[in-house]
Amino acid sequence: MNVVPLLECLADGQYHSGQAIGERLGISRAAVWKQMQAIRDLGVVIEAVTGKGYCIRGGLELLDSALIEARLYPQVHAALGTPDVRFSTGSTNTDAMQKAMTGVERYLVLAEHQAAGRGRRGRQWVSPFGRNLYMSMLWTFQNGIAALEGLSLVCALAVKRSLQAIDRDISVKWPNDVYLNGKKLAGILLEVSGDVAGPCRVVMGVGLNAAMPAEHAAAIGQPFADIASDRDGKISRNDLAAKVINEWVAVLAHFESEGFEPFREEWMASDCYLGQRVEIRAGEHLTLGRHAGVDLSGRLLLDTDVGRITVAGGELMPSLRPAAG
């Protein structure tokens, strides 16, 4: 069932009667109703008012591959080609990994909706239709897996940079989250395949809350932020996507040649938990300490009761436990 024409009809945020929609699309009232249900199943809220018709409150800007492509810097377009924009998919990371298996070295995919969006540690990434950005980039690195240390932090910095002109209260949280006003705005998911010492294909997924509907709060299960709420609802997802992609490719090119070290000071200046007591959970193991920054490879520096340690991975949370002694 192709519901794109109906979505385009409702995208203006105005009320349209079922009869007018049917006449415009050349379909029956019953077909209009079935398509409405299919759109609602994607998580789109459609209001129905007797005597007025149907409306998507606030309207809807659909992602447009041509618009995004036109806003990419020439060197970015040369690196990635035309973005692949999908109506609905299971997971953009899965799509990019499948593309990697065909031998493609670089690729960019975005989707309006993910049926099986994934966050870190197997968590669900809530992905309602047409409201946020869900995109994944495939990039081939030539120097082995060890050279990828700090990559997730660099991806988070790319998102932060792209948003600084929109809002200055953007920060990062180790190892790869982006925060706005102290709440999670975006997350990064990396998946790697390839040779320990040779070429590695890395899929980097970004989920960025552009205009997350409040009714998804329970499913998200933690405080979250979105760009639209901070800007009175005024946000173009196509512009936002292009800004993120441009910064993303710029930092990847820099990282590929010089590693994480040139980004360390920027990360330290942007880290929202630097200097605070935190706890790091890795599986069943919990480590407490004071966040002392990151090293030249992007590993967390943690001052504990037994001295400073480095942490390569885990879930960082602010600690409410009192310091020993």
State how far the Cα of 60 lies from the Cα of 130, in Å rounded to an integer.
7
Q: Is residue 123 a contact partner of residue 109, using CB atoms and an 8 Å limit?
A: no
Does residue 323 lie within any of the structural domains?
Answer: no
Q: Is residue 60 part of a domain?
A: no
198 and 283: one domain? no
**Within-domain flag for 180:** yes
Q: What's the DSSP call for residue 215?
A: G
pLDDT score of 124: 72
In Å, the largest CA–CA distance within the chain is: 75
Measured CA to CA, the distance from residue 163 to residue 161 in angstroms comes to 5
Q: Is 278 helix (H, G, I), strand (E, B) or coil?
A: strand
| Domain assignment of residue 44, yes or no | yes
101 DSSP assignment: T
Helix (H) or strand (E) holding 201: strand 200-208
Residue 39 lies in a domain: yes
Q: What pLDDT score does 126 carry?
A: 81
Residues 153 and 24 in one domain: no
Do residues 234 and 297 both lie within one domain?
Answer: no
Domain for residue 324, yes or no? no
| Domain shared by 88 and 164, yes or no | yes
Listed in sequence order, the residues at least 6 apart from 255 whose beta carbon sits closer than 8 Å to its beta carbon are 150, 151, 154, 263
Q: Is residue 108 part of a domain?
A: yes
Q: Which tokens in the block code for residue 73? A: 């810097």
β-strand pairing of 84-86 with 107-111? parallel
What span, in angstroms and rounded, lies between the C-alpha atoms of 175 and 283? 16
Q: Are 260 and 301 found together in one domain?
A: no
List the domain range (segments joined by +) for residue 207: 65-269
Task: Give the pLDDT of residue 252.
Answer: 97
Same domain, 78 and 191: yes
Q: Annotated catalytic sites, by residue? A: 120, 184, 321
Whether residue 255 is found in the same domain as residue 228: yes
CA-based end-to-end distance of the chain: 65
Q: Using CA atoms, how far apart are residues 99 and 304, in angstroms rounded to an integer? A: 43
Q: What is the pTM of this model?
A: 0.90
Q: Are 127 and 254 in a shared domain?
A: yes
Distance CA 265, CA 252 (A): 17
Distance separating alpha carbons of residues 282 and 121, to the nearest angstrom: 10
In a shared domain, residues 14 and 72: no
Please give the tally of structural domains in the chain.
Answer: 3
Across the beta sheet with 307-311, the strand order is 307-311, 300-304, 285-294, 277-282, 315-318
CATH number of 26's domain? 1.10.10.10
Same domain, 10 and 99: no
How far, in Å, CA of 146 to CA of 150, rounded?
Answer: 10
Distance between CA atoms of residues 76 and 242, nearest Å: 10
Q: DSSP 3-state assignment of 134?
A: strand
Distances in Å between the Cα of 245 and the Cα atoms of 134, 142, 208, 248, 270 are 12, 21, 12, 5, 20
Reading the chain (325 residues) residue by residue, the pLDDT tens digits are 789 999 999 999 999 999 999 999 999 989 999 999 999 988 788 999 999 999 998 888 999 999 999 999 999 999 999 999 999 999 999 999 999 999 999 999 999 999 878 876 667 778 889 989 999 999 999 989 999 999 999 999 999 999 987 777 899 999 999 999 999 999 999 999 987 888 999 999 999 999 887 776 667 777 888 898 866 667 899 999 999 999 999 999 999 999 999 999 999 999 999 999 999 998 889 999 999 999 999 999 999 999 999 999 999 999 976 665 4
325 in a domain, yes or no?
no
SS3 273: coil
The verdict on 277 and 262 lying in the same domain is: no
* C-alpha span between 239 and 140 (Å, rounded): 26
The CB-based long-range contact list for 178-183 (8 Å cut-off, 24+ gap) reads: 178/208, 179/225, 179/272, 180/225, 180/226, 180/227, 180/230, 181/225, 181/230, 182/223, 182/272, 183/223, 183/224, 183/225
Same domain, 182 and 300: no
pLDDT at position 324 is: 55
CATH code at position 289: 2.30.30.100
